[in-house]
Structure formats: structure tokens, C-alpha cells
Amino acid sequence: MRYLITGGGTGGHIYPAMAIAMEIRNRHEDGEILYVGTKEGLESELVPREGLDFRTIRVKGMPRKIGRDMFLAIKELVLGINDARRIIKQYKPDIVIGTGGYVCGPVVYVASGRGIPTLIHEQNAFPGMTNKILSRSVDKILITFEESRKYFKYSKKILLTGNPIRKSILEVDKDKAYMDLGINRNIPFILSFGGSGGQKRLNQAMLYVIEKNVSNKNMQIMHITGSRFYNEFMDEIEARDIELGRNIKVLPYFYDMPQGLNIADLVITSAGAITLAEVSAVGIPSILVPKGYTAENHQEYNAKAFEDEGAAHVILEKDLTGEGLNKAIEEIIHDSERLANMAENSRKMGRSDAAERIVDIVDDLMK
């Protein structure tokens, strides 16, 4: 069988696509997998590293305002559709799987027009424009959040699967994690990060939190600034004459996130789809600060879905202050009953078997 997977632009679309590809590879050793992305997208770096065949099409995101950029994007879209036709004609896939981002539009559109089984996966509570358009013609619409169901018109096509995550999140030795990270299991541990690239507003608020808790022996904090913000953050630490003790760690990037998530008592983070999938798979209480500049403001919808289920406390970026964040931390971390309830609600939202569920649906479509 030949599987064509497409999705790109950001990690939120790419990592689920690769998780699906890995599950297909594990389940069907004789299956052939082709990933289609763009030359400029992050997928052009990440996908070949996993040993997957990779081809590209020409396509750009569609601007919201009429102008020169829109006409250029339309031209690229036409070229992208022709590229997609050529690839599909040559590869002859048995099924096409799209995980969002503008790159998957031409590929899934052409495949559905040729009668090839197609499905899309939506990672966010508020669907992206590409998936909304493609939902009209695909065979199945797979969703991560129950809340996103109402934004699609074709309810009979929709299946709730969750968002695929890396297996390493579920395979952590906690005793080793405490030792490796130098964390005391008897003292509350807070892990703070603003997504893979960092979050400036969260960094600003965490400066206050760190300053207020630098001598607090009843709290451990690990804050990841994001590589581009690290020097600026540490300069401010020095300017405020803050001497970091053993209870507080500040890092530019954190390569051992699976370990950190598995031993954290509370996570402070933005509301990207992948992060929330991993947080809920482990079952961690969270304070969510959704980034206010994402497409369709999808992070705020994601965060609200977690808050509505009692799994998270949400602070919007525009309302975020160091004082307010510190108060929220103190109210949650020292309330064991609230922590336990949030953890249980987070776990209920998790779908650790999302990749398996998705490939089950893929297999059914190909029968």
C-alpha cells in the first residue's frame, strides 16, 4: 500500500503527521510512505531526518487582504495544484492524509477529486482555514477537541481521535528523571515554557515570579526562556541583582521535556496543540497563557477547552502580569485537592493512543 501524508509550515502540523507516519511504518512494514511539503517549510528539515521520502510543491499562505501578495499567492496555488497532480499521478497513492497548513490544500484537493480516499486531521479547537475548506470533499475529518466539531458542517464525517504524540512522553522512568534533572520529589516542581520558541510576555511575568521565590525553599522552578530570549532574560536577572539558588533553574532550551513533564506538579505554558496533547497524555495541571498572535487565535480556543473541563487555569497575554501569575501559582500549587482534580481532568482529555486510532481509521478507509 502507498500512503501519502501532507502537512506543514509549523511543528503543530508536522509532528502529528510524522507520528502518523511512524505508526503506519510500525504496523505495515511493507507499506510505502511519501511526505509532501514545501521547500521553505520546517518540514523540509524535519521529515528527511526520519528517513521518510519527501517531495515538495509550490504554495504560499493566502493573505486576508486583497493586494499584490494575494495575487502572488493565487499564482502559487495554481502551480501547487499542478505540482500535486504530477506527484499523485506518479506516486499513485492508495490514501492521502492531510494534517493542516496551506501545503496540504492542493494535495488533498487533487486526491479527493480523483476518488482517492482522503482524510484530514485538525489539531486545534478552532479549525484552520485549509481544513475547513477541505472538509467538504474528504472522506473523514479527525478532530483533537470535541469543541471543534461545531465548526465543521459535515458531522457524519467527524471522528474524535486526539492529537498524536511522541511515544517517549509515555516511557519515562520517573525516578531517573528526578535524579537527572536534580529535582527533589518532596518539593512542588513547576515547569514553565512558552512553546518551543519561547514567549516574551511569559518571560517578563516569570522574572517577577522568580524574584519573589528565589529564596522559597518550598518551591522548585524550571523556566525555559527560548533560545532567542535567553541572553536578554539573564541580563535582566543580573540587573535585578537576583542570585539563583538551587531551587530555580533557567535554561534557553530544554531537550529533556518528556522527563520534565512527567515529574512536574504544575506546568505554565502557552496553548499550542502539541504541548497540550503531551500535557494531557501525562495528566498535568496547567496554567495556560495562550499566545495572542497565532492564526485564527487558535491557542485561546485550545486553552478555553482545557479550562472548561477543569484541567487548566487560563490567563490571556493581555491580562498577564508577574503579580497575577505568582498569585495563581500560589493558589494552585498549595491546594492539593485542586491539583489532584486538575490532574485528573487533564488526564481525561488526553488521548495517548491517538496515532493508533488514526491509523485504524486509515486502515478501514483502505478496505
The residue among 274, 286, 282, 280 whose CA lies nearest residue 258 is 282
pTM for the whole thing?
0.86
Question: What pLDDT was estimated at residue 63?
Answer: 54
CA–CA distance, 325 with 322 (Å, rounded to integer): 5
CA–CA distance, 351 with 88 (Å, rounded to integer): 32
pLDDT digits (tens, 9 = 90+) for 135-172: 999 999 999 999 999 999 989 999 999 999 888 899 99
Question: What pLDDT was estimated at residue 168?
Answer: 83
| 240 half-sphere exposure, CB direction, 13 A CA radius | 16
Looking at the predicted structure, is the pLDDT value of residue 102 above 90?
no
CA–CA distance, 239 with 216 (Å, rounded to integer): 20
pLDDT digits (tens, 9 = 90+) for 318-366: 999 999 999 999 999 999 999 999 999 999 999 999 999 999 999 999 9
Question: What pLDDT was estimated at residue 58?
Answer: 86
Question: What pLDDT was estimated at residue 75?
Answer: 65
The residues with which 4 forms a beta bridge, in sequence order, are 34, 96
Number of residues in the chain: 367
CA–CA distance, 139 with 319 (Å, rounded to integer): 41
- Pinpoint the alpha helices (H) of the chain: 11-27, 43-49, 68-91, 104-113, 129-134, 174-181, 200-213, 230-239, 257-263, 273-282, 298-308, 322-333, 336-349, 354-365
| 20-32 average pLDDT score | 95
Q: Please, which pLDDT band fits residue 68 given cuts at 50, 70 and 90? A: low
Domains, the chain: 2-165+352-365 (3.40.50.2000), 168-349 (3.40.50.2000)
Looking at the predicted structure, is the pLDDT value of residue 295 above 70?
no
Mean pLDDT of the chain: 92
Q: Please, which pLDDT band fits residue 61 given cuts at 50, 70 and 90? A: low
3 and 24 in contact (C-beta within 8 Å)?
Answer: yes
Question: What pLDDT was estimated at residue 127?
Answer: 93
Percent share of the chain, pLDDT over 70: 95
CA–CA distance, 97 with 143 (Å, rounded to integer): 13
Looking at the predicted structure, is the pLDDT value of residue 223 above 90?
yes
Q: Please, which pLDDT band fits residue 367 given cuts at 50, 70 and 90? A: confident
Q: Please, which pLDDT band fits residue 270 given cuts at 50, 70 and 90? A: very high
Contacts of 337 (CB under 8 A, 6+ apart): none
Q: Please, which pLDDT band fits residue 85 given cuts at 50, 70 and 90? A: very high
Each as own residue / partner, the long-range contacts of residues 20-29 (CB below 8 Å, 24 or more positions apart, any chain) are 20/97, 20/99, 20/121, 20/164, 20/355, 20/358, 20/359, 20/362, 21/50, 21/52, 22/50, 22/355, 23/164, 23/355, 23/356, 23/358, 23/359, 24/359, 24/362, 27/359, 28/1
β-strand 189-193 against 220-224: which pairing, if any?
Answer: parallel
| 26-32 average pLDDT score | 94
Find how far residue 365's CA is from the centre of its chain. Answer: 26
Looking at the predicted structure, is the pLDDT value of residue 71 above 80?
no
Q: Give 139 or 129, the one with higher predicted confidence.
A: 139
Looking at the predicted structure, is the pLDDT value of residue 76 above 80?
no
Query: What is the residue-wise DSSP string for 167-186?
Result: GGGG---HHHHHHHHT--TT
Contacts of 341 (CB under 8 A, 6+ apart): 310
